Amino acid sequence: MGFDWFKGFGLVPVPGVVNYLPTWHNRNVRSNHGTWSTARNGYNLTEFGSYQRPQSVLNPNTYLLAMYYLGRSWLNFNTQGIGSISAARLGVYVTSKTGLSGAIFITKGLALEPIDGADWPAQTGETTIFGQFNLADIVLNQYNWADLNAAGLAWLNQSALELNQHESYDWGKNMFMGIYNPYWSSQSRTPQSTFTLTKVRLRLKRVGSPGTLYIRIYAADANHCPTGPVLASATINGNTLTTDYWGAWYLIDLGAGCVFTQGTEYCTVLYIAGGNASNCVQWIGATGNQYPNGCYALSSNAGSSWTPNTNYDLYFIDYETAQVGGTNFCLRADYDVNDIPPIIGADHTLIFNSAQKGEGYLPLLEVTA
């Protein structure tokens, strides 16, 4: 059952209408560079979203000042059991806009869960339009609606969520740790729920040709350092990693994985068998103790002993494999979808709330049976 507003009486049920609230994974990712093609391909990505609290506004845009800026907003809805559909529309509570003409397009959201900068490249070439918000028609400080076309209706509940996210740390990057023998790196975390860890996403880069990278999962001791037997493991070819300065996200398959118990601390350990400072893997992270449930640790003797450093944290996202129905949209400015560089002064921007003002202002997917 959906709801509508009736003056003086609050929310009134609307028969045959269901409103879906977004999941907490919604996120805005911004790219910027001095040339259009480089910016559009995802240079210098900055991530904002409802799990980088309190930053929780979404801002799809394109504009040109000293350089090109592009923002894409991903919206995810758990639409399991959606049933028959005769119509649907997307509503966003708009707090700000720029641009007297043009549009923000609703397109397929080609992203894993949770959404992050690693999903930018696949989205760049996606041009199917499901609906649009015309900037000239936008009214501030209220819900604005965009009807989904036939392609949009067909997309509902088609983007299967392959992974459930659990513990993660993935923002504020300002450093990286070099990994080569005998220097190993560990990042601990304390899961907030019990689940089976089957995949972990890490932000990595390489220098030279480091060879095979080993990934191992351990329990953590009281000092946040690896201890006991290997719980799960994997290897990847370190020579295929990017050389981009801030690296890229890599999804590591841990096979059957291992059970993570709520409230128990665990470590991900990375090492290579040889290498040197000119042939190594670098694990991206940040200073400032920004992740509260674990920390970085260094071994300078190939894992024989460890030294924790609570001022450092390295990027990771833990997943449990699952098949769950859902619908993922990506909102992008018309310049971006059409691959047309904006002229100076052209700014197509739409800002709306993801979670900042509570559920009364969240985006809504309204489906009519």
DSSP bridge pairs for 325? none
Report the alpha-carbon distance of residue 298 to residue 105 in Å, rounded: 46
Range picked from 49-58, 71-80, 171-180, 322-331 for highest mean pLDDT: 171-180
The whole-number pLDDT of residue 6 equals 32
126 plus 261 within the same structural domain? no
Structure tokens, 318: 């833990």
> Could you tell me how many residues make up the chain?
369
170 plus 260 within the same structural domain? yes
Q: Where are the beta strands (DSSP E) in 238-279?
A: 248-260, 266-272
Q: Which of 284, 306, 321 is the last residue of a domain?
A: 321
Report the alpha-carbon distance of residue 27 to residue 354 in Å, rounded: 8
148 plus 286 within the same structural domain? no
- Contact between 58 and 354 under an 8 Å Cβ cutoff? The reply is yes
Task: State phi, psi for 21 to the nearest 5 degrees.
Answer: -85, 150
142 plus 187 within the same structural domain? no
229 plus 246 within the same structural domain? yes
Model confidence at 338, pLDDT cuts 50, 70, 90, reads very high
226 plus 305 within the same structural domain? yes
Instruction: Report the chain's mean pLDDT, rounded to a whole number.
Output: 88
Q: What percent of the chain has pLDDT over 90?
A: 64
**Residue 314 pLDDT more than 50?**
yes
29 plus 140 within the same structural domain? yes
173 plus 314 within the same structural domain? yes
**Residue 301 pLDDT more than 90?**
yes
Q: Which of 63, 73, 83 is nearest to 20 (CA)?
A: 83
351 plus 313 within the same structural domain? no
257 plus 117 within the same structural domain? no
Report the alpha-carbon distance of residue 283 to residue 155 in Å, rounded: 36
Distances from the Cα of 43 to the Cα of 80, 114, 216, 256, angstroms: 35, 20, 31, 35
| Domain membership of residue 69 as a residue range | 2-6+14-160+326-368
Model confidence at 330, pLDDT cuts 50, 70, 90, reads very high
236 plus 125 within the same structural domain? no
pLDDT tens-digit profile of 8-44?
333 444 568 999 988 766 888 999 999 999 999 988 8
The whole-number pLDDT of residue 5 equals 37
pLDDT tens-digit profile of 42-59?
888 887 765 444 445 788
Model confidence at 326, pLDDT cuts 50, 70, 90, reads confident
Distances from the Cα of 23 to the Cα of 12, 113, 119, 158, 165, angstroms: 24, 10, 17, 16, 12
Q: Where are the beta strands (DSSP E) in 114-174?
A: 129-134, 142-147, 161-169
How do 280-287 and 175-179 pair as beta strands? antiparallel
168 plus 301 within the same structural domain? yes
Q: How many CA atoms lie within 13 A of 50 on its CB side?
A: 23
CA angle 262, 263, 265 (to 5 degrees): 105
Q: How many domains does the chain have?
A: 2
The whole-number pLDDT of residue 51 equals 44
CATH code assigned at 140 = 2.60.120
